Protein backbone atom coordinates (compact mmCIF):
# COMPACT_ATOMS: atom_id res chain seq x y z
CA UNK A 1 0.00 0.00 0.00
CA UNK A 2 1.15 3.51 -0.85
CA UNK A 3 0.05 6.92 0.36
CA UNK A 4 0.06 9.58 -2.35
CA UNK A 5 1.19 12.75 -0.61
CA UNK A 6 2.94 14.10 -3.71
CA UNK A 7 2.88 17.85 -4.11
CA UNK A 8 1.56 18.66 -7.61
CA UNK A 9 3.66 21.85 -7.61
CA UNK A 10 7.41 21.60 -8.23
CA UNK A 11 8.26 25.20 -7.37
CA UNK A 12 7.10 28.81 -7.51
CA UNK A 13 9.14 31.54 -9.17
CA UNK A 14 7.38 34.84 -8.69
CA UNK A 15 4.05 34.63 -10.48
CA UNK A 16 5.15 31.44 -12.29
CA UNK A 17 4.12 28.06 -10.92
CA UNK A 18 5.74 24.93 -12.35
CA UNK A 19 3.68 21.78 -11.87
CA UNK A 20 4.51 18.12 -12.29
CA UNK A 21 1.58 17.70 -14.66
CA UNK A 22 2.96 20.35 -16.99
CA UNK A 23 6.44 18.81 -16.78
CA UNK A 24 5.22 15.32 -17.68
CA UNK A 25 3.10 16.73 -20.51
CA UNK A 26 6.16 18.54 -21.85
CA UNK A 27 8.32 15.39 -21.61
CA UNK A 28 5.69 13.44 -23.53
CA UNK A 29 5.53 16.06 -26.27
CA UNK A 30 9.33 16.22 -26.60
CA UNK A 31 9.60 12.43 -26.87
CA UNK A 32 6.83 12.40 -29.48
CA UNK A 33 8.71 14.95 -31.60
CA UNK A 34 11.95 12.93 -31.29
CA UNK A 35 10.11 9.82 -32.46
CA UNK A 36 8.62 11.78 -35.37
CA UNK A 37 12.13 12.84 -36.37
CA UNK A 38 13.36 9.25 -36.43
CA UNK A 39 10.32 7.95 -38.32
CA UNK A 40 10.40 10.70 -40.93
CA UNK A 41 14.17 10.46 -41.38
CA UNK A 42 13.90 6.70 -41.96
CA UNK A 43 11.35 7.36 -44.71
CA UNK A 44 13.35 10.24 -46.21
CA UNK A 45 10.52 12.64 -45.45
CA UNK A 46 11.20 16.31 -44.78
CA UNK A 47 12.38 16.97 -41.22
CA UNK A 48 11.07 20.53 -41.54
CA UNK A 49 7.64 18.99 -41.98
CA UNK A 50 8.08 17.27 -38.61
CA UNK A 51 8.45 20.57 -36.78
CA UNK A 52 5.59 22.20 -38.65
CA UNK A 53 3.25 19.27 -38.07
CA UNK A 54 4.33 18.97 -34.44
CA UNK A 55 3.33 22.56 -33.72
CA UNK A 56 -0.04 22.03 -35.35
CA UNK A 57 -0.63 18.73 -33.56
CA UNK A 58 0.35 20.08 -30.14
CA UNK A 59 -2.01 23.04 -30.51
CA UNK A 60 -4.86 21.06 -32.08
CA UNK A 61 -4.47 18.09 -29.74
CA UNK A 62 -4.39 20.24 -26.61
CA UNK A 63 -7.38 22.31 -27.72
CA UNK A 64 -9.35 19.15 -28.45
CA UNK A 65 -8.29 17.54 -25.17
CA UNK A 66 -9.17 20.63 -23.16
CA UNK A 67 -12.53 21.14 -24.85
CA UNK A 68 -13.32 17.46 -24.38
CA UNK A 69 -12.62 17.73 -20.66
CA UNK A 70 -14.64 20.93 -20.33
CA UNK A 71 -17.68 19.79 -22.31
CA UNK A 72 -17.93 16.19 -21.19
CA UNK A 73 -16.62 16.28 -17.63
CA UNK A 74 -16.76 19.68 -15.92
CA UNK A 75 -18.80 22.20 -17.91
CA UNK A 76 -20.50 23.85 -14.91
CA UNK A 77 -17.17 24.49 -13.17
CA UNK A 78 -15.56 26.13 -16.20
CA UNK A 79 -18.61 28.27 -16.89
CA UNK A 80 -18.18 29.65 -13.38
CA UNK A 81 -14.36 29.85 -13.66
CA UNK A 82 -13.62 30.73 -17.32
CA UNK A 83 -10.00 31.71 -16.64
CA UNK A 84 -9.28 28.11 -15.63
CA UNK A 85 -9.96 27.02 -19.23
CA UNK A 86 -6.45 28.00 -20.32
CA UNK A 87 -4.72 26.48 -17.27
CA UNK A 88 -3.87 23.16 -18.90
CA UNK A 89 -0.81 22.74 -16.66
CA UNK A 90 -3.25 22.20 -13.77
CA UNK A 91 -4.58 19.05 -15.45
CA UNK A 92 -7.81 18.30 -17.24
CA UNK A 93 -7.16 16.80 -20.68
CA UNK A 94 -9.55 14.25 -22.19
CA UNK A 95 -8.07 11.54 -24.42
CA UNK A 96 -11.26 11.35 -26.50
CA UNK A 97 -11.08 15.07 -27.20
CA UNK A 98 -7.36 14.87 -27.93
CA UNK A 99 -7.90 12.10 -30.50
CA UNK A 100 -10.63 14.07 -32.26
CA UNK A 101 -8.51 17.22 -32.09
CA UNK A 102 -5.52 15.48 -33.69
CA UNK A 103 -7.61 14.00 -36.51
CA UNK A 104 -9.35 17.30 -37.27
CA UNK A 105 -6.02 19.14 -37.12
CA UNK A 106 -4.53 16.82 -39.74
CA UNK A 107 -7.55 17.31 -41.99
CA UNK A 108 -7.29 21.09 -41.58
CA UNK A 109 -3.53 21.00 -42.15
CA UNK A 110 -4.04 19.18 -45.45
CA UNK A 111 -6.58 21.75 -46.65
CA UNK A 112 -4.50 24.78 -45.67
CA UNK A 113 -1.05 23.51 -46.66
CA UNK A 114 -2.24 21.65 -49.77
CA UNK A 115 -0.25 18.59 -48.68
CA UNK A 116 -1.54 15.03 -48.99
CA UNK A 117 -1.37 14.09 -45.32
CA UNK A 118 -2.56 10.51 -45.79
CA UNK A 119 0.89 8.96 -46.16
CA UNK A 120 1.99 10.57 -42.88
CA UNK A 121 -1.17 9.80 -40.92
CA UNK A 122 -0.14 6.47 -39.39
CA UNK A 123 3.37 7.67 -38.57
CA UNK A 124 1.95 10.60 -36.65
CA UNK A 125 -0.23 8.32 -34.53
CA UNK A 126 2.60 6.05 -33.32
CA UNK A 127 3.87 8.14 -30.34
CA UNK A 128 0.42 9.28 -29.18
CA UNK A 129 0.01 6.46 -26.59
CA UNK A 130 3.48 7.32 -25.24
CA UNK A 131 2.27 10.88 -24.68
CA UNK A 132 -0.78 9.46 -22.90
CA UNK A 133 1.58 7.50 -20.64
CA UNK A 134 3.12 10.69 -19.28
CA UNK A 135 -0.18 12.55 -19.04
CA UNK A 136 -1.58 9.83 -16.76
CA UNK A 137 1.51 10.03 -14.55
CA UNK A 138 0.76 13.73 -14.25
CA UNK A 139 -2.79 12.83 -13.21
CA UNK A 140 -1.34 10.65 -10.45
CA UNK A 141 0.78 13.53 -9.15
CA UNK A 142 -2.37 15.67 -9.13
CA UNK A 143 -4.32 13.01 -7.20
CA UNK A 144 -7.06 13.21 -9.83
CA UNK A 145 -9.03 10.62 -11.82
CA UNK A 146 -8.77 8.32 -8.82
CA UNK A 147 -9.93 4.72 -8.78
CA UNK A 148 -12.68 3.06 -6.83
CA UNK A 149 -12.32 2.03 -3.22
CA UNK A 150 -10.52 -1.32 -2.99
CA UNK A 151 -8.85 -3.79 -0.65
CA UNK A 152 -6.11 -4.95 -3.03
CA UNK A 153 -2.59 -4.83 -1.53
CA UNK A 154 -1.35 -2.47 -4.27
CA UNK A 155 -4.06 0.09 -3.52
CA UNK A 156 -3.13 3.73 -2.93
CA UNK A 157 -4.34 6.27 -0.39
CA UNK A 158 -5.23 9.67 -1.87
CA UNK A 159 -5.73 11.87 1.23
CA UNK A 160 -5.92 15.08 -0.84
CA UNK A 161 -8.76 13.66 -2.88
CA UNK A 162 -10.62 12.24 0.13
CA UNK A 163 -10.42 15.31 2.42
CA UNK A 164 -7.59 13.81 4.45
CA UNK A 165 -9.31 10.47 5.00
CA UNK A 166 -7.30 7.30 4.41
CA UNK A 167 -9.42 5.56 1.78
CA UNK A 168 -7.64 2.84 -0.19
CA UNK A 169 -8.25 3.15 -3.93
CA UNK A 170 -7.15 1.69 -7.24
CA UNK A 171 -4.34 3.73 -8.80
CA UNK A 172 -6.33 3.94 -12.03
CA UNK A 173 -4.04 6.67 -13.40
CA UNK A 174 -1.08 4.29 -13.25
CA UNK A 175 -3.13 1.45 -14.74
CA UNK A 176 -3.87 3.66 -17.73
CA UNK A 177 -0.28 4.88 -17.92
CA UNK A 178 1.07 1.33 -18.03
CA UNK A 179 -1.45 0.10 -20.61
CA UNK A 180 -0.75 3.14 -22.80
CA UNK A 181 2.97 2.32 -22.66
CA UNK A 182 2.26 -1.29 -23.65
CA UNK A 183 0.06 -0.09 -26.53
CA UNK A 184 2.86 2.15 -27.74
CA UNK A 185 5.19 -0.86 -27.68
CA UNK A 186 2.72 -2.99 -29.64
CA UNK A 187 2.09 -0.33 -32.26
CA UNK A 188 5.79 0.40 -32.71
CA UNK A 189 6.57 -3.32 -32.97
CA UNK A 190 3.90 -3.84 -35.63
CA UNK A 191 5.16 -0.85 -37.58
CA UNK A 192 8.78 -2.08 -37.51
CA UNK A 193 7.97 -5.75 -38.08
CA UNK A 194 5.48 -5.78 -40.93
CA UNK A 195 5.71 -4.35 -44.43
CA UNK A 196 2.90 -3.36 -46.78
CA UNK A 197 0.36 -2.73 -44.07
CA UNK A 198 -2.94 -1.26 -45.26
CA UNK A 199 -3.10 2.49 -45.01
CA UNK A 200 -4.59 3.60 -41.66
CA UNK A 201 -3.80 0.18 -40.13
CA UNK A 202 -1.70 1.76 -37.37
CA UNK A 203 -4.29 4.46 -36.74
CA UNK A 204 -7.12 1.98 -36.32
CA UNK A 205 -4.97 -0.40 -34.29
CA UNK A 206 -4.35 2.47 -31.89
CA UNK A 207 -8.06 3.32 -31.72
CA UNK A 208 -9.01 -0.30 -31.06
CA UNK A 209 -6.36 -1.02 -28.42
CA UNK A 210 -6.42 2.30 -26.59
CA UNK A 211 -10.15 2.79 -26.32
CA UNK A 212 -10.88 -0.88 -25.61
CA UNK A 213 -8.50 -0.81 -22.66
CA UNK A 214 -9.89 2.58 -21.66
CA UNK A 215 -13.39 1.06 -21.64
CA UNK A 216 -12.22 -1.80 -19.40
CA UNK A 217 -10.19 0.37 -17.02
CA UNK A 218 -13.18 2.65 -16.47
CA UNK A 219 -14.60 -0.13 -14.29
CA UNK A 220 -11.75 0.55 -11.82
CA UNK A 221 -12.33 4.32 -11.71
CA UNK A 222 -14.80 6.40 -9.78
CA UNK A 223 -17.72 6.58 -12.17
CA UNK A 224 -18.51 9.90 -13.75
CA UNK A 225 -21.84 10.01 -15.57
CA UNK A 226 -22.77 12.84 -17.86
CA UNK A 227 -25.97 10.97 -18.65
CA UNK A 228 -28.27 8.77 -16.59
CA UNK A 229 -26.78 5.54 -17.93
CA UNK A 230 -25.12 2.44 -16.41
CA UNK A 231 -21.86 3.10 -18.26
CA UNK A 232 -19.52 5.95 -17.37
CA UNK A 233 -19.02 8.95 -19.64
CA UNK A 234 -15.55 7.66 -20.53
CA UNK A 235 -17.00 4.32 -21.62
CA UNK A 236 -19.76 5.93 -23.69
CA UNK A 237 -17.22 8.15 -25.43
CA UNK A 238 -14.95 5.16 -26.13
CA UNK A 239 -17.62 3.08 -27.87
CA UNK A 240 -17.69 5.05 -31.18
CA UNK A 241 -13.90 4.75 -31.55
CA UNK A 242 -14.02 1.01 -30.85
CA UNK A 243 -16.89 0.42 -33.28
CA UNK A 244 -15.19 2.43 -36.00
CA UNK A 245 -11.93 0.48 -35.61
CA UNK A 246 -13.75 -2.87 -35.64
CA UNK A 247 -15.66 -1.81 -38.76
CA UNK A 248 -12.43 -0.79 -40.47
CA UNK A 249 -10.63 -4.05 -39.67
CA UNK A 250 -13.60 -6.13 -40.84
CA UNK A 251 -14.59 -4.25 -43.99
CA UNK A 252 -11.93 -1.77 -45.08
CA UNK A 253 -8.42 -2.84 -44.15
CA UNK A 254 -7.55 -4.42 -47.49
CA UNK A 255 -8.58 -1.50 -49.66
CA UNK A 256 -5.19 0.16 -49.92
CA UNK A 257 -1.66 -0.82 -48.94
CA UNK A 258 1.44 1.24 -48.33
CA UNK A 259 4.96 0.09 -47.59
CA UNK A 260 6.21 1.35 -44.24
CA UNK A 261 9.54 -0.44 -44.17
CA UNK A 262 12.16 -0.92 -46.80
Whether residue 87 has pLDDT greater than 80: no
Residue 181 pLDDT more than 70? yes
Of the two residues 22 and 186, the one the predictor is more confident about is 186
* Confidence at 214, pLDDT banded by 50, 70, 90: very high
pLDDT value at 142 more than 60: yes
Strands 9-13 and 2-3: unpaired
Beta carbons of 143 and 172 less than 8 angstroms apart: no
Taking each helix axis from N to C end, the angle separating 47-73 and 95-113, rounded to the nearest 10 degrees, works out to 140
Mean pLDDT of 224-240: 84
| 256 contact partners, CB below 8 Å, separation of at least 6 | 198, 199
**Is the model's pLDDT at 60 over the cut of 90?**
yes
**Cα 196 to Cα 193: distance, rounded to the nearest angstrom:** 10
> pTM score, two decimals?
0.88
Listed residue (58, 60, 34, 62) closest to 47, CA to CA: 34
- Establish how many alpha carbons lie within 13 A of residue 144's alpha carbon, considering only the half-sphere containing its beta carbon: 17
pLDDT band at 90 (very low <50, low <70, confident <90, very high): low
Predicted pLDDT at 256: 55
Rounded to an integer, the average pLDDT of 172-201 is 95
Domain ranges across the chain: 2-184
Q: Is 66 annotated as a binding residue?
A: no
The mean pLDDT of the chain is 89
Of 124, 162, 115, 167, whose CA–CA distance to 143 is shortest? 162
Amino acid sequence: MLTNTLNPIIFHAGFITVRWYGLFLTIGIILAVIIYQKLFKAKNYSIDLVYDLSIWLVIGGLIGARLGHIIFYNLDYFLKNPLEIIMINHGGLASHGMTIGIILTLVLYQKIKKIDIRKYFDLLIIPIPLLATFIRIGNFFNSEIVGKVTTVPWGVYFPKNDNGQMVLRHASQLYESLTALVIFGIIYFVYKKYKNLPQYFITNLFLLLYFSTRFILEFFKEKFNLFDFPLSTGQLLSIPFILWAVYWFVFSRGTRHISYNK
